[in-house]
Amino acid sequence: MSIRRTVLAAALFLTYTLSLSEGTAAAPQFEIKLGKPEFVLPQFTGPYQEREASIALEEYETAERLRELLDAGKRQQVLAELEKFYSIELSPAMLMLQAQIYFSLEMYDKAEATYLEVLKRMPQLIRAHSDLGQLYLVREQPQKARHHFARAVALGSNEALVHGQLAYLNLTQYGPYSAISSYQQAAALEPDNFQWQQGLLAALIQARMYDAAEALLDEITARKPNMPELWLNKATLALHKEDYRRALTSLEMALLLGNEDQRNLQTSAKLHLQLGSYDRAMALLEKSFGRNDFDIASVTEYFTWLSHLELWDDLKKLLDIAGKHLGKLKPAQQSRYYLHMAQLEVQRKRFTQADQMFNRSLNLDPTNGECLLAYAEFLTKQKDYIRAELLYMRADALSSVEKQAQLGRAQLYIEMQNYKSALELLRQIHQKYPDSAGVKDNIEIIENIIALDKSNDTKLR
């Protein structure tokens, strides 16, 4: 039977390759030599009887009575009947029934012991292995579950569920390559079961078999075009291939179908920014910021992006949108928002407003090192050296920005032509951070300047 099927498959394959070569007659001829299809006979592992359990002749009467009780939903009564016997007095089939009832009544310890008892007597009983696998899944013992599903498959189980669950456990315990074949088997047995296709897709993506994943995805989306998850998968694949336009189209499709995940909205917005469709990006950001899980990190990310592109108007729009949701943020996060506002005002040369925003930021979080540095740098450019120096000194006390604060202050002293203080500070920095690039060169330059100043003074005297 299986040989006939394989022959049929081989014949179809040949027909397929022939029609392909006919269809591409005008194209350059490439000859591909295909290997002959191979037949792999199943390994003989003993009589099939050992993998099945049948009721003993003398049990038929009892079995019939129990079946009636089960049909009437009297599982406890069935158990009571079975528990009158020692396990060895029951056939494996009856023991399986007992184990299944324990399982269904959530008496997991007894169910496990009974299944193990069955396997002690019939180690090749497929059903016992697959049931025990399920039990261990329920009891969150995935390694034991995998062992029994694998045994069931090795013994010839042809249940899609067993293959699918083995695939899932392989995927989580051993990675994608060990899962693909089992998912394919499950999907072959139950082609309409979406769970197996999803699993196979996940495994293919994890294994970076993007072409196969894409082909599978195309097939599934053709059948289920309204599932946002599928479009998200398409977007993911397109991103892997750096096909941003297709990624964006798929992502927008997912959003249109109702997926409103914050991260997806933001990724979509980023892609729009990258592809230059700023209005849509802003609309998506507005939607994204309106959510409860709005966070300042994403604002910072867009801020950096838009600053890099020097899109100040869009940056203003972004901050205006974010500003509407400031109430959801903690003071430290609000401080970061006002820092961005200040930086924008600096770019727009609105220095008074910038000064106000810096102050507001520091009022909200006096330990905002980034703000202390940016504000000090701003004041240095405004030649407000005294306030700048104070800010650098405040930043110096924060370990996260200590080095930048000292370098900034040294720069400030140079601007003020206070070379002696600059030199002293640079020497301190060099001692503390000997690997800092350029510090030693700057020390030498300043030493030369000081020496030159001294010789000039001497000459003048």
Partner 1 sequence: MKQQIFGLLIAASLSGCAGSVKEVSCAGLDWEDFGYQTGKKGKSVRTFDPYRDGCGENLEPGAMNQYLDGYTRGIIEFCTYENGYELGSENKALPDVCPTELKPAFAKGHSVGIIEFREKLSKLKRFNEDEASMQERTSAEKAADTSYGK
Q: In the complex, which residues of this chain contact partner 1 (CB under 8 A)?
A: 53, 56, 59, 86-89, 91-93, 117, 120-122
Q: Please, what is the minimum distance in Å from the beta carbon of residue 54 to partner 1?
A: 8
CA distances from 410 to 54, 380, 421 (A): 89, 12, 8
Q: Are 284 and 272 in contact (CB under 8 A)?
A: yes
Q: Please, what is the minimum distance in Å from the beta carbon of residue 109 to partner 1?
A: 12
Q: Which two tokens stand for residue 233?
A: 């998968």
| Nearest residue (CB) to partner 1, 93 versus 265 | 93
Q: Please, what is the minimum distance in Å from the beta carbon of residue 80 to partner 1?
A: 16
Q: Please, what is the minimum distance in Å from the beta carbon of residue 111 to partner 1?
A: 15
| Nearest residue (CB) to partner 1, 53 versus 205 | 53
Q: Are 340 and 318 in contact (CB under 8 A)?
A: no
Q: Please, what is the minimum distance in Å from the beta carbon of residue 113 to partner 1?
A: 8
**Tokens 């927008």 label which residue?**
252
| Nearest residue (CB) to partner 1, 93 versus 220 | 93
d(CA 65, CA 19): 61
Q: Please, what is the minimum distance in Å from the beta carbon of residue 7 to partner 1?
A: 38
| Nearest residue (CB) to partner 1, 84 versus 459 | 84
| Nearest residue (CB) to partner 1, 117 versus 345 | 117
| Nearest residue (CB) to partner 1, 121 versus 427 | 121
Q: Which of 303, 306, 247 is nearest to 271 (CA)?
A: 247
| Nearest residue (CB) to partner 1, 121 versus 316 | 121
Query: C-alpha angle 177/178/179, rounded to 5°?
Result: 90
| Nearest residue (CB) to partner 1, 120 versus 223 | 120
| Nearest residue (CB) to partner 1, 92 versus 176 | 92
Q: Which two tokens stand for residue 284?
A: 């998506």
| Nearest residue (CB) to partner 1, 110 versus 328 | 110
Q: Which residues contact 427 (CB under 8 A, 6 or more apart)?
A: 443
d(CA 56, CA 118): 15
Q: Is 148 exposed, middle or buried (0-12, 13-18, 19+ CB in 10 A)?
A: buried
- DSSP string of 140-153, one letter each residue: T-HHHHHHHHHHHH
Q: Please, what is the minimum distance in Å from the beta carbon of residue 218 to partner 1?
A: 50
Q: Please, what is the minimum distance in Å from the beta carbon of residue 74 to partner 1?
A: 25
Q: Which residues contact 54 (CB under 8 A, 6 or more apart)?
A: 91, 93
Kindly tell me the sign of the dihedral angle through the C-alpha atoms of 217, 218, 224, 229.
positive
Q: Which two tokens stand for residue 33?
A: 């030599």
Q: Please, what is the minimum distance in Å from the beta carbon of residue 129 to partner 1?
A: 16
Q: Please, what is the minimum distance in Å from the beta carbon of residue 63 to partner 1?
A: 12
For the chain, what is the largest distance between any 2 Cα atoms, rounded to a whole number of angstroms?
128
CA distances from 287 to 294, 326, 327 (A): 10, 15, 16
d(CA 411, CA 396): 14
d(CA 297, CA 169): 36
